[in-house]
Amino acid sequence: MKKNRIVVLVDMDAFFASCEQQEKPFLRGKPVAVGGKNIVAACSYEAKAYGVKSGMSTYKAIEICPSLIVVPGDMEKYAFTSREIMKMLPDYTSEIEIFSVDEAFLDVTDTVKFWDNNPFNIAKDLRERIKRRFGINASVGISYNKLMAKLASFLAKPDGIKMIKRDDARNLLENLPVEKLSGIGQRLKKELNALGIVTCGELARFPVTILKKLFGQYGLLLHYMAMGEDSSAVKEAVPKNRSMGHSKTIPGGIEDKHTALIYLFRLCEMVGRKVRKSGMIGKTVSITIRYEDFFTFTRQITLSYYIESGEEIYEIAKGLFMQTDTLYRIRLLGVSLSGLVKASRQIRLKEDERGIRLRRAVDAINNRYDR
């Protein structure tokens, strides 16, 4: 890991809603929700001022904000704008990690020297270019690792720049609610709060042995996160040929989790078969869920060992799926396995030779009858 790293996170403000406001000037300055008749997928800052949030029911959003303007989403438009913005990033560094459709990490440790050794100059230039070309505001966080750069961008919103230095991190984190850290959602927040852990300072002081007992290795990670430590590198997204997956659009949608798991199992079997046919094994399992009014999200987990079977993929995917709240009809399910490498006995950490031979025999039958 580099010493004295400088990591920048650029995050477009209210991205979907901002795209709509720029394309339709009459929406500017007004509370806007992007979504459908049931779910708010995204909203403008004018809508947020009323308490409207992503994931909220459209009915409730209109109830608390009667002047709310609901517009249908256009994912192709957002994806195009995102791609064009991301094309700007190599002008600042070659070390880029696209975190989501509206966020990207940049490691500028080796290139900040071209900007008078001042990362603020990079942030200002990038924000101005995005604003000038697309009319969209971007917030930028600067820090010594990805975790803190992410926090800095959150604190910079809307339309600002924030830098968190290592020397200032401990004081900042002391009274910061744990859910403000990237990676700690509402479910985990509730579990930590039940332990009497409300702030990052309290999490940092909580016995690590108990955290590991309750949360496994993630407990150790939580301990380091609470102290502002993150050793993960800024790295490119997995190339297309290093990820294999399948998805299924479900006509009419489904609400029942048990039915959804049947679809999920079949998808996992298909992914496992595809991976084995390519002679690969992987360690990162991802699931994608799209609800009836297009709101889509992805969850993933990276294992410490490689897998290839549909059953193994399903067990991990099922765990991710059961963490979600199925309040609305699911229209699409997707599963993928990434972090792929060529299979070999040397890197199989959970090898079961008999199971491997059995899976290959089943694959041969399925391939023969095109199942």
> Catalytic residues, which ones?
103
Query: Hunting for tokens 């309750």 — which residue is that?
Result: 214
Q: Is 167 exposed, middle or buried (0-12, 13-18, 19+ CB in 10 A)?
A: exposed
Q: From the CB of residue 2, how many other CB atoms can be counted at a distance below 10 Å?
A: 13
Strands 280-291 and 138-143: unpaired
With bands split at pLDDT 50, 70 and 90, how would you rate the model's confidence at 23?
very high
Q: Maximum Cα–Cα distance for the chain, whole Å?
A: 65
With bands split at pLDDT 50, 70 and 90, how would you rate the model's confidence at 241?
very low
Could you tell me which of 264, 286, 276 has the C-alpha nearest to residue 307?
276
Report residue 102 as tokens: 């509206």
Query: Whole-angstrom Cα distance, residue 138 to residue 18?
Result: 10
- Locate the domains of the chain by residue range: 7-163, 166-226, 240-368
239 has a pLDDT exceeding 70: no
202 has a pLDDT exceeding 90: yes
Query: Whole-angstrom Cα distance, residue 328 to residue 323?
Result: 15
In whole angstroms, what separates CA 205 from the centre of its chain?
28
| pLDDT, averaged across the chain | 87
Full-prediction pTM beyond 0.75?
no
Q: What is the pLDDT at residue 349?
A: 42
Tens digits of per-residue pLDDT, 79-120?
Answer: 889 989 999 999 999 899 888 889 999 999 999 999 999 999
pLDDT over 70, % of the chain: 88
CATH topology of domain 7-163: Alpha-Beta Plaits (3.30.70)
Tens digits of per-residue pLDDT, 283-311?
Answer: 899 999 988 766 777 888 988 888 988 88
- Strand order of the β-sheet with 103-107 is 96-100, 103-107, 7-12, 138-143, 161-163
Element (H, E) at 301: strand 296-307
Segment 40-51 shows an average pLDDT of 94
Query: Whole-angstrom Cα distance, residue 114 to residue 124?
Result: 14
More confident: 260 or 136: 136
Superfamily assignment of 240-368 in CATH?
DNA polymerase, Y-family, little finger domain (3.30.1490.100)
Q: What is the pLDDT at residue 11?
A: 96
Question: 192-206, 298-312, 346-360: which range is least confident on average?
Answer: 346-360
Query: 166-226 belongs to which CATH class?
Result: mainly alpha
Amino acid identity of residue 326, one-letter, is T
Segment 213-240 shows an average pLDDT of 84
Q: Are 12 and 18 in contact (CB under 8 A)?
A: yes
